[in-house]
């Protein structure tokens, strides 16, 4: 006489295992989120030594056996030309000083464009882009967007607008291996960030959406749009 297994005893075991895995998954997510929040606290005083995008580009170069030279020099916001600061805000996030991390008006416009199949611009704010640069790299997914959205209010609360702008301008990608305003100005124009002019600043801001494909000297049309926006904003 052979013993038969009871299917009712397997179900609780399986359910218990799933709940245990789910619990540890939640704990892991909370720990990672807490670590990211602590990074923002530290970033109030400590300049980021690297970012997820920097690491991603270095890894991609290694995978494809390509030479890679990183240019990254962190400088204070006071050492960055006001023209460059204004050009980046005008190009990337015109309501930077008015919103609290999310530009709901731009999100609404982008959503309508998506529905009509005519999406021509993103709706990410400078704060959102900073969070993405620091922690998530250039990948796109709903999971990343959700994690990013949960950290944006933390960045706004902990860092404040001035520090957010300062870090963003210093870590953002501005060419192959080129990160930050100082490196970008020296790479593209052989001058310091504090000395960059209005026209050059608009051209540098114009390449931010696709820094590995665009060149400042080819940005005549878009840089003119940015200059017009700067004028409308009183800059």
Checking if the pLDDT of 121 tops 80, the result is: no
Q: Is residue 1, in this structure, part of any structural domain at all? A: no
* Structural domain boundaries, residue 155: 47-232
What's the confidence (pLDDT) of residue 6? 53
The number of folded domains in the chain is 1
Token code pair at residue 222? 């878009």
CATH number of the domain encompassing residue 171: 1.10.3810.10
Q: How far apart are CA 171 and CA 180, in angstroms?
A: 5
Concatenate the DSSP letters of all residues of 163-175 into one string: HHHHHHHHHSEEE
Highest mean pLDDT among 13-22, 36-45, 77-86, 149-158 belongs to: 77-86
- For the entire predicted model, the pTM comes to 0.86
Q: Is residue 54, in this structure, part of any structural domain at all? A: yes
| CB-CB contact of 181 with 201 (8 Å) | no
Q: Is residue 157, in this structure, part of any structural domain at all? A: yes
Q: Is residue 13, in this structure, part of any structural domain at all? A: no
Q: Tens digit of pLDDT for each residue in 34-67?
A: 888 888 889 999 999 999 999 999 999 999 999 9
pLDDT band at 24, cuts 50/70/90? confident
Q: What percent of the chain has pLDDT over 90?
A: 66
């Amino acid at each position: 006489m052979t013993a038969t297994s009871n299917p009712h005893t397997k179900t609780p075991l399986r359910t218990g295992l799933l709940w245990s895995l789910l619990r540890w998954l939640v704990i892991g997510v909370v720990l990672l989120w807490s670590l990211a929040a602590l990074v923002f606290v530290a970033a109030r005083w400590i300049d980021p030594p690297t970012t997820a995008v920097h690491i991603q580009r270095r890894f991609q170069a290694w995978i494809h056996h390509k030479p890679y030279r990183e240019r990254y020099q962190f400088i204070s916001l006071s050492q960055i030309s006001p023209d460059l600061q204004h050009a980046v805000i005008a190009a990337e996030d015109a309501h930077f000083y008015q919103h609290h991390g999310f530009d709901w008006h731009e999100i609404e416009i982008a959503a309508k464009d998506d529905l009509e199949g005519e999406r021509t611009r993103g709706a990410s704010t400078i704060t959102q882009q900073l969070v993405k640069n620091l922690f998530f790299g250039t990948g796109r997914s709903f999971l990343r967007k959700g994690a990013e959205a949960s950290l944006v209010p933390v960045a706004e609360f902990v860092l404040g607008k001035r520090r957010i702008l300062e870090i963003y301008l210093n870590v953002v990608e501005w060419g192959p291996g080129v990160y930050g305003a100082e490196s970008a100005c020296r790479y593209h124009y052989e001058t310091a960030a504090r000395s960059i002019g209005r026209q050059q600043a608009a051209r540098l801001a114009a390449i931010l959406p696709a820094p590995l494909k665009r060149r400042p000297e080819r940005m005549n049309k878009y840089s003119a749009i940015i200059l017009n926006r700067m004028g409308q904003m009183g800059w």
